[in-house]
Structure 1
């Protein structure tokens, strides 16, 4: 399997949770939380991570509505993410992030921490859940393609 360096983003109105993965693409980990101040400052902080980690792709959680449609918040995230990807000159992929923040909050409660005092941690954990979903989907698709390729080879022999 090829090496991958991806950055997962959980984009909110006040903060951006940021996660990265190990080079094998197996495990996503929360890295930091960026407090929104200005677009240029957000890019500056993200660029630093991109260069340090040699990031190849941005993976952004898209907050679909519960009925699966793209609502106002998802459109805002798409607009912001497109600007970020263009500024960083990176490809952009989206992951359905419905309920990731709720799941992240439950993980914090399980750790006996207060969610209300750990908003940045919730954002980082949500970003890690988003990136982990993308990594898992990517790995499953690669296995599927490998199986299909090997079936084709078997049929040809």
Structure 2
């Protein structure tokens, strides 16, 4: 890991909403941030730019939703396109992290915390982004 990287923002790409989490490599901490709404996978880029201004990350991480057999899914192709757009618009390094089962794990954790299962009203996308970020931190250390 580059020693200049301290703040990292992770995204759990989705077609209607994108989960977001922020982490600190020095402390090894992560926290969820508010979800960014999207239309067919395209966020309001002003919201993304504001998030970047606020947190000042040196690196962005995007979950790579591969199929269970490791093959590329349609959603993975779109997540990679989102990652390329982040890089192009923001000029920040973007890395992909295998996120197989992160949404399943986020739902499991949420249910253990009392979530009632209505993920439209109470989404877990930012928790999934936090799990993606924790995976990246574990791999980077």
TM-score scaled by length of structure 2: 0.88
Residue of structure 2 in register with 1:149 after alignment:
none
The equivalent position to 2:106 in structure 1, one of 104, 124, 127, is: 104
1:49-128 counterparts in 2 under 5 A?
Answer: 49-117=51-119, 121-128=123-130
Q: Secondary structure at the match of 1:68?
A: coil
**Runs of 5+ consecutive residues of structure 2 not aligned to the other structure:** none
CA distance in 2, matches of 1:71, 1:61: 13
83-92 or 98-107: which moved more? 83-92
**Runs of 5+ consecutive residues of structure 1 not aligned to the other structure:** 140-157
CA distance in 1, matches of 2:34, 2:14: 14
Q: Where has structure 1 moved over 2 Å in runs of 4 or more?
A: 117-121
CA deviation profile, 1:14-71 (whole Å, cap 9, x unmatched): 10000001352502211110111484x5221111111111111110000011111112
1:7-86 counterparts in 2 under 5 A?
Answer: 7-22=9-24, 24-37=26-39, 39=42, 42-86=44-88
CA distance in 2, matches of 1:31, 1:17: 8
Residue of structure 1 in register with 2:134 after alignment:
132
Q: How far off is 1:122 after superposition?
A: 0.7
88-97 or 115-124: which moved more? 115-124
Q: Secondary structure at the match of 2:124?
A: helix
Which has more strand, going by share of residues? 2
Contact 1:30 1:124 survives alignment (8 Å): yes
TM-score scaled by length of structure 1: 0.80
Q: Which has the larger radius of gyration?
A: 1
Which has more helix, going by share of residues? 1
Cα separation, partners in 2 of 1:8 and 1:89, compared to 1, 3 Å: same
